[in-house]
Amino acid sequence: MNAVSPRPWLFDTHLHLDDEAFDLDRDDVVARALAAGVGGLLTVGTGLESSRAAVMLAGRLPQVWAAVGIHPHAAPEAIAETMATLGDLAASPGVVAIGESGLDYARDYAPREAQHDAFRRHIRLSLDLDLPLVVHNREAHGDVLEILAREGARRVIMHCFSGSPDMARLCVARGYYVSLAGPVTYRNARRLLEVATAVSLDRLLLETDAPYLPPEPFRGRRNEPAHLVHTARRVADVRGITLEELAAATTASARAALGLGRP
Ligand SMILES: [Zn+2]
Ligand SMILES: [Zn+2]
């Protein structure tokens, strides 16, 4: 007879549930996440429309919370008027974070000046509202850290962390949360696995970034929050703890980061 292990209760701290990739089966995606033990989801806005959609989803589904913001790819949209609208949206039930904002030098879809400006505006909004800021950072480590420090950002979630173990330690020393996504399961993930052990559990978060970045063995397919278990298992293995222990610790970190209190 097989022992029935308690289902791990994980929190997916970053996904895009409003994405059109989920248009045909969005509620099934959430149901599969719950069945897989992923009991909390933060759906993250990438623009005004996507932020509105995130707020609607958080209002409709009890396991879903929302972040509102303009992605660095769309940085020129983050003018004062848009930021004021985001501030109003942030007062909606279920909104627990600002973002995603940050810098993306890997694609450079928006001019860097516009990205810096939008990033500063999001930091100020997060400070004004005392909400955590979900930070997107691709190949912009130095500038991201400098702007966060200069603007006095306090509650910070470094989403889909891709920096070095030393950078992760610096983030933790500043009180930031470090979130790991599917790439920690990839064959060449040696440095990310070091990050996974360098970050104390009270600052460590897990995410899927679905529909993007599927963990092994789902590469090349649509990602979904149920797959978070694979990322969690890899991190638990490298830390030498059980999946249940990692789930409990990272979910507590997620709830602390997002100001949700105890479940
Ligand atoms: Zn991102
Ligand atoms: Zn994202």
| 136 Cα to the center of ligand 2, angstroms | 7
CATH of 10-257, one of 3.30.930.10, 1.10.760.10, 3.20.20.140, 3.40.50.300: 3.20.20.140
Cα 153 to ligand 2 centroid, rounded to whole Å: 20
CA of 84 to the centre of ligand 2 (A): 22
pTM of the model: 0.96
Q: How far is the CA of 45 from the centre of ligand 2 (A)?
A: 8
d(CA 170, CA 28) in angstroms, rounded, equals 39
| CA-CA-CA-CA torsion sign (90, 130, 43, 139) | positive
Q: Which amino acid is at 237?
A: D
In angstroms, the CA 204 to CA 195 distance is 10
Task: Walk along the chain (263 residues) and give the pLDDT tens digit of each residue.
Answer: 344 444 779 999 999 999 999 999 999 999 999 999 999 999 999 999 999 999 999 999 999 999 999 999 999 999 999 999 999 999 999 999 999 999 999 999 999 999 999 999 999 999 999 999 999 999 999 999 999 999 999 999 999 999 999 999 999 999 999 999 999 999 999 999 999 999 999 999 999 999 999 999 999 999 999 999 999 999 999 999 999 999 999 999 999 999 997 65
Average pLDDT over all residues of the chain: 96
CA of 257 relative to ligand 1 center, distance in Å: 17
Q: Which ligand is nearest to the CA of 104?
A: 1
Amino acid in the structure at residue 206: L
Ligand nearest to the CA of 17: 2
For 208-230, b where at least 16 C-beta lie within 10 A, e where not — what string? bbbbbbbbbebeeeebbbbbbbb
Distance 49 CA to ligand 2 centre (A): 15
In tens, the pLDDT along 46-103 reads 999 999 999 999 999 999 999 999 999 999 999 999 999 999 999 999 999 999 999 9
Instruction: Give the start-to-end residue ranges of the domains of the chain.
Output: 10-257
How far is the centre of ligand 2, averaged over its atoms, from the C-alpha of 213 (Å)? 10
Tell me which H or E stretch contains 38: strand 38-44
- 46 alpha carbon, closest ligand: 2
45 closest CA partner among 20, 81, 16, 76:
16
